[in-house]
Amino acid sequence: MEVKARAPGKIILSGEHAVVHGSAAVAASIDLYTHATLTFPTSPEHEDMLKLQLKDMALEFSWPISRIKLAFSQLGVPFSSKPTTCSSESLKLIAGLIEEQSIPEAKVALASGVSAFLWLYTCIQGFRPATVVITSELPLGSGLGSSAAFSVAISAALLAFSDSIKIDLRRPGWLDFEELQLDLVNKWAFEGERIIHGKPSGIDNTVSTYGNMIKFKNGNLTRIKSSMPLKMLITNTKVGRNTKALVAGVSERNIRHPDAMSFVFNAVDSISKELANVLQSPALDELSITEREEKLGELMEMNQGLLQCMGVSHASIETVLRTTLKYKLASKLTGAGGGGCVLTLLPTLLSGTIIDKVISELETCGFQCLTVKIGGNGVEFSNGSS
Ligand X SMILES: C[C@@](O)(CCOP(=O)(O)O)CC(=O)O
Ligand Y SMILES: Nc1ncnc2c1ncn2[C@@H]1O[C@H](COP(=O)(O)OP(=O)(O)O)[C@@H](O)[C@H]1O
Q: How far is the CB of 204 from Mg ion (least distance, A)?
A: 6
Alpha-carbon separation of residue 126 from 77, 115, 234, 251, 382 (angstroms): 7, 15, 40, 35, 22
Site for Mg ion in 336-375 (CB under 5 A): none
Strand 49-54 relative to strand 130-136, pairing: parallel
- Within 8 A by CB and 6+ apart from 214, the residues are 26, 27, 28, 203, 206, 207, 221, 222, 223, 224
Q: Which does 205 bind (CB under 5 to 8 A by kind): ligand Y, Mg ion, ligand X, none?
A: none
Residues 319-348: x where in contact with ligand X by CB under 6 A, - otherwise, as a string: ----------------xx------------
31 a catalytic residue:
no
Q: Which of 185, 203, 317, 330 binds ligand X (CB under 6 A)?
A: 203
Which contacts qualify for 346-352: CB closer than 8 Å, 24 or more apart? Answer: 346/231, 346/232, 346/233, 347/231, 347/290, 347/293, 347/297, 348/229, 348/231, 348/286, 348/289, 348/290, 348/293, 349/286, 349/290
Q: How far is the CB of 197 from ligand Y (least distance, A)?
A: 6
Q: Which residue type, as a one-letter code, is found at position 77?
A: V
Nearer to ligand X, 65 or 221 (CB): 221
Q: Which does 90 bind (CB under 5 to 8 A by kind): Mg ion, ligand Y, ligand X, none?
A: none
Q: How far is the CB of 378 from ligand X (least distance, A)?
A: 16
Q: Which does 185 bind (CB under 5 to 8 A by kind): Mg ion, ligand Y, ligand X, none?
A: none
CA–CA distance, 193 with 111 (Å, rounded to integer): 13
Q: Which of 204, 269, 285, 356 is catalytic?
A: 204
Q: Which does 34 bind (CB under 5 to 8 A by kind): Mg ion, ligand X, ligand Y, none?
A: ligand Y
Residues 243-262: x where in contact with ligand X by CB under 6 A, - otherwise, as a string: x---x---------------
CA–CA distance, 81 with 296 (Å, rounded to integer): 43
CA–CA distance, 146 with 7 (Å, rounded to integer): 9
Binding site for ligand Y (CB under 6 A): 34, 54, 109-110, 112-113, 134, 136, 140-147, 150, 196-197, 242-243, 335
Asked if 243 is part of the footprint of Mg ion (rule: CB under 5 A), the reply reads: yes
Stretch that binds ligand X, among 37-45, 139-147, 150-158, 375-383 (CB under 6 A): 139-147
* Best CA proximity match to 184, nearest among 121, 124, 113: 124
Nearer to Mg ion, 317 or 355 (CB): 317
Interface with Mg ion (CB under 5 A): 147, 243
Q: Which residues are catalytic?
A: 204
